């Protein structure tokens, strides 16, 4: 990728090649993550999981994707059509753009912006808009419920997430993701800021609507939440976005806390992926172990515990930096 | 219409079911909601009505036997036992001791399988998927054991008037013992992963409280009643079959919240294990069928009521015989119907999330309510 971009010698070409690479990565990654989730879940549940298609069911998700593409796109009669059609696209685009600034290694960055982390956080917030669009336009009470819950949840968890990230940025003094990684060439920030790491993982789980915070799609209450009325490829886009969001949240955790591409022997990009998938495994582990929290308890947790803790962490960080 | 009339709509109606993932069957609940809070919940029952009571009037005593396994498919053997005991009372038959022991062992195995299913399904209601498969792994052992003995895995029809048709062998007893030790080794896992889980405790503590007065008012029985602290168990209060010969306790709760009901059910499984263990140890030799069971069941004129303790509570049968080969009338008193009746009061002014938690904690079997 790097070579091609250099030979073309222009920023535009680099972006185009990068975007194509990102789309390929997103698709392959989502297929892999869905397979991984099924395997992780299965092994935690005393069963083998998909085994039939390909070695250990590796091709199963590809077949699922093909099946979903072949499905009829049902548009229920009373939906708000333009918004209903737009929602799956709107959820997917910001997810793609977030990849532009993720530093896979010291050279594998499509565009190393000086506001990288802000860009990712801003785009990840956009997903709530499409959830609201999907829920509202579906004309289904369960879907509206899911959408409303999702908005409340995302607003509540955005704040501690941002405050937590701020404490890292204070330490580095830059919004640039590559700078943050370079600053961790010695000690990873997870050792310096363990509380921030825990806060970040908690908030990221809530932000990506993963169990135990998967309230918007709590199937025992809301059937399938905001995407109840979606079928075929539109549903697949929501699904794809969910897993890609998970990847981005884990990638940000890797960059902020786990030293990004740093690591001995192996090339940086390999280390980066190892760390990302380790964090993703952690999120999957949560999902298949914990019951779901109740909605009001979830919001209480954020406003009464996480936000004060995040501020305390930020203050301590600022104080230590000032005294040093 | 509402806009035309100028009325401001403050509440709205949400239709939960009959096809909803957490109503466990075909229950429909009409909810009147104010935001996320429920102002009124009205269960609409009857989607699974099959008319068992009417069927009983149109077939002879033996032909009605398989129906009982379909009333409550999760604890089918207790229902079998209740019917057999009621008819035996009418016929004045004495069931041999070995047959009573076999009935107790299989009934208790079935009770554990029902509670295990509740445990898994209830946690699935709360959003934890994994315990479900662990429970089913344990439950599979019971199903295999009972499959080998009775020939079916869910809707058993095993007991006969006067005893049991098939004797148990050493393999079955060894299987029971193996299962007892296996399930006991699992308690630690279950308690560490579920009972002590903070999220689980927050979801269940002080939620869905049923007071003692409410229990009596609504006729609640079974673990739901015992969770509220009333030690009422038919196996102790009106001992039947071989139960007086075993040493077991009745676990009770204190506050009557979901957590108490959960603890009571887990403790009951342990007590059932104790009963099975004791029954295996002192299994008497002898016949498995009563002598002189008439070929044609035709009880004398009379009425009989027989109650048993099922996994869900008191199941009672009232049989009126007019000396015919068919019963004149059979009334089924199903525990889930009584347990369900408190549900509207529990759901009121609560969140939807708690509605699911409450409904699951009552452990109702919908076809049993509908009969």
Average pLDDT, chain B: 85
Sequential DSSP letters for B233-250: -HHHHS--TTGGGS----
Determine contact, residues A35/A277, Cβ cutoff 8 Å.
no
What is the token pair recorded at A285?
């582990």
Tell me the pLDDT tens digit for each residue of B43-83: 888 887 888 888 888 888 888 888 888 888 888 888 888 89
**A3 pLDDT above the threshold of 60:** no
Measured in degrees and rounded to the nearest 5, phi and psi for residue B330 equal -125, 125
**Which among B200, B202, B353 is the nearest to A221, CB-wise?**
B353
**Region of poorest pLDDT, from A159-163, B33-37, B124-128, B366-370:** B33-37
**A216 pLDDT above the threshold of 70:** no
What is the token pair recorded at A240?
């794809």
CA dihedral B123, B127, B131, B133 (to 10 degrees): 110
Please give the pLDDT value at position B22. Answer: 66
Q: How far is the C-alpha of B370 from the C-alpha of B365, rounded, in Å?
A: 9
Sign of the CA dihedral with A177 first, then A179, A184, and A189 last: negative
Tell me the pLDDT tens digit for each residue of A163-198: 888 888 888 888 888 888 888 877 888 778 888 888
Question: In B, which residues are within 8 Å of A45 by CB distance?
Answer: 129-130, 133-134
The CATH topology of domain B54-370 is Cytochrome-c3 Hydrogenase; chain B (1.10.645)
Interface test with A, best of B130, B351, B359, B361 (most A CBs within 10 A): B130
Domain extent listing, chain B: 54-370
Question: In A, which residues are within 8 Å of B20 by CB distance?
Answer: 223
Please give the pLDDT value at position B1. Answer: 46
Question: In A, which residues are within 8 Å of B21 by CB distance?
Answer: 219-220, 223
**Parallel, antiparallel, or unpaired for β B12-16 and B28-34?**
antiparallel
A297 at the B interface (CB within 8 A)? yes
Measured in degrees and rounded to the nearest 5, phi and psi for residue A178 equal -65, -35
Q: Do B134 and A46 touch (CB under 8 A)?
A: yes
**B3 pLDDT above the threshold of 80:** no
Please give the pLDDT value at position A220. Answer: 60
Determine contact, residues A292/A225, Cβ cutoff 8 Å.
no
Residues 237-256 of A with CB under 8 A from B: none
Tell me the pLDDT tens digit for each residue of B212-257: 888 888 888 888 888 888 888 888 888 888 888 888 888 888 888 8
Please give the pLDDT value at position A221. Answer: 65
Tell me the pLDDT tens digit for each residue of B292-340: 877 888 888 888 898 898 888 888 899 998 888 888 888 888 888 888 8
**Region of poorest pLDDT, from A30-34, A145-149, A168-172, B10-14:** B10-14
Q: Which ipTM value was assigned to this complex?
A: 0.75
**A9 pLDDT above the threshold of 70:** no
- Give the number of other Cβ atoms within 10 Å of residue A218's Cβ: 30
Non-local CB neighbours of A89 within 8 Å, separated by 6+ positions: A237
Question: What average pLDDT score do residues A115-132 get?
Answer: 83
Determine contact, residues A175/A115, Cβ cutoff 8 Å.
yes
Tell me the pLDDT tens digit for each residue of A270-291: 888 888 899 999 888 888 888 8
Please give the pLDDT value at position B122. Answer: 87
Determine contact, residues A81/A103, Cβ cutoff 8 Å.
no
Q: Do B127 and A47 touch (CB under 8 A)?
A: no
Please give the pLDDT value at position B21. Answer: 67
Question: In A, which residues are within 8 Å of B22 by CB distance?
Answer: 220-221
Question: What average pLDDT score do residues A67-93 get?
Answer: 82
Residue of A nearest to B200 (CA): A291
Residue A218: band (very low, low, confident or very high) from pLDDT cuts 50, 70, 90:
low
Q: How far is the C-alpha of A233 from the C-alpha of A67, rounded, in Å?
A: 9
Alpha helices in A45-115 (DSSP H): 60-69, 81-98
Question: What average pLDDT score do residues A38-63 get?
Answer: 84
Question: What average pLDDT score do residues A218-223 get?
Answer: 65
Please give the pLDDT value at position A217. Answer: 66
Closest CA to B309 of B52, B82, B70: B82
More confidently predicted of A163 and A11: A163
Question: In A, which residues are within 8 Å of B129 by CB distance?
Answer: 41, 45, 288
**Parallel, antiparallel, or unpaired for β B302-310 and B313-321?**
antiparallel
**Which among A222, A223, A289 is the nearest to B130, CB-wise?**
A289
């Amino acid at each position: 990728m790097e070579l091609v971009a250099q030979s073309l010698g222009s920023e535009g070409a680099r972006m185009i090649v990068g975007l194509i690479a990102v789309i390929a990565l997103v698709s392959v990654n989502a297929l892999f993550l869905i397979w991984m989730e099924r395997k992780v879940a299965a092994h935690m549940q005393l069963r083998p999981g998909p085994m039939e298609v390909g070695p250990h069911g590796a091709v199963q998700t590809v077949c699922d994707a093909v099946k979903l593409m072949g499905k009829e796109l049902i548009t229920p009669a009373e939906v708000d059509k333009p918004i209903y059609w737009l929602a799956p696209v709107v959820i997917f685009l910001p997810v793609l753009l977030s990849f532009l600034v993720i530093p896979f290694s010291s050279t594998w960055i499509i565009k190393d912006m000086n506001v990288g982390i802000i860009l990712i956080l801003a785009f990840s917030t956009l997903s709530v808009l499409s959830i609201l669009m999907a829920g509202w336009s579906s004309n289904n009470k369960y879907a509206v419920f899911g959408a409303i819950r999702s908005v409340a949840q995302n607003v509540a968890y955005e704040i501690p997430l941002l405050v937590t990230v701020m404490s890292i940025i204070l330490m580095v003094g830059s919004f640039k993701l590559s700078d943050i990684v370079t600053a961790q060439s010695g000690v990873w920030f997870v050792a310096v800021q363990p509380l921030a790491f825990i806060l970040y993982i908690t908030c990221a789980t809530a932000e990506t609507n993963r169990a135990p915070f998967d309230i918007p799609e709590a199937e025992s209450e809301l059937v399938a939440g905001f995407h109840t009325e979606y079928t075929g490829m539109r549903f697949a886009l929501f699904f794809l976005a969910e897993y890609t969001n998970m990847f981005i949240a884990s990638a940000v955790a890797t960059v902020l806390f786990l030293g990004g591409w740093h690591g001995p022997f192996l090339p940086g990009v390999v280390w980066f992926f190892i760390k990302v998938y380790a964090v993703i495994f952690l999120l999957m582990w949560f999902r298949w172990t914990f019951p779901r929290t109740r909605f009001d308890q979830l919001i209480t947790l954020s406003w009464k515990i996480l936000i004060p803790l995040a501020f305390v962490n930020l203050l301590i960080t600022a104080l230590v930096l000032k005294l040093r | 219409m509402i806009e035309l009339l100028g009325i401001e709509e403050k509440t709205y109606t949400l239709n939960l079911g009959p096809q909803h993932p957490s109503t466990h069957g075909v229950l429909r609940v009409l909810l009147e909601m104010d935001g996320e809070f429920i102002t009124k919940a009205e269960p609409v029952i009857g989607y699974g009505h099959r008319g068992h009571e009417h069927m009983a009037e149109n077939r002879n005593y033996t032909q009605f036997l398989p129906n009982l396994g379909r009333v409550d498919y999760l604890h089918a053997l207790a229902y079998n036992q209740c019917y057999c005991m009621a008819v035996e009372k009418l016929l004045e038959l004495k069931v041999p001791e070995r047959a009573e022991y076999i009935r107790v062992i299989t009934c208790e195995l079935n009770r554990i399988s029902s509670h295990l299913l509740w445990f898994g399904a209830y946690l699935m209601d709360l959003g934890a998927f994994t315990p479900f498969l662990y429970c089913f792994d344990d439950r599979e052992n019971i199903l295999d054991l009972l499959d080998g003995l009775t020939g079916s895995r869910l809707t058993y029809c095993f007991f006969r008037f006067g005893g049991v048709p098939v004797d148990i062998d050493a393999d079955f007893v060894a299987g029971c013992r193996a299962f007892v030790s296996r399930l006991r080794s699992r308690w630690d896992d279950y308690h560490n992963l579920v009972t002590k889980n903070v999220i689980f405790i927050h979801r269940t503590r002080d939620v869905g409280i049923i007071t003692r007065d409410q229990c009596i008012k609504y006729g609640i029985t079974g673990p739901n009643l015992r969770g509220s602290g009333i030690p009422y168990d038919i196996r102790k209060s009106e001992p039947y079959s071989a139960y007086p010969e075993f040493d077991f306790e009745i676990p009770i709760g204190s506050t009557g919240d979901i957590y108490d009901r959960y603890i009571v059910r887990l403790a009951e499984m342990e007590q059932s294990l104790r009963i099975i263990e004791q029954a295996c140890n002192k299994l008497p030799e002898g016949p498995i069928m009563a002598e002189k069971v008439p070929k044609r069941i035709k009880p004398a004129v009379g009425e009989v009521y027989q109650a048993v303790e099922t996994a869900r509570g008191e199941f009672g049968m009232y049989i009126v015989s007019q000396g015919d080969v068919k019963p004149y009338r059979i009334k089924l008193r199903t525990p889930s119907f009584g347990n369900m009746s408190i549900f509207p009061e529990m759901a009121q002014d609560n969140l939807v999330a708690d509605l699911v938690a409450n409904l699951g904690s009552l452990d109702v079997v919908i076809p049993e309510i509908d009969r």
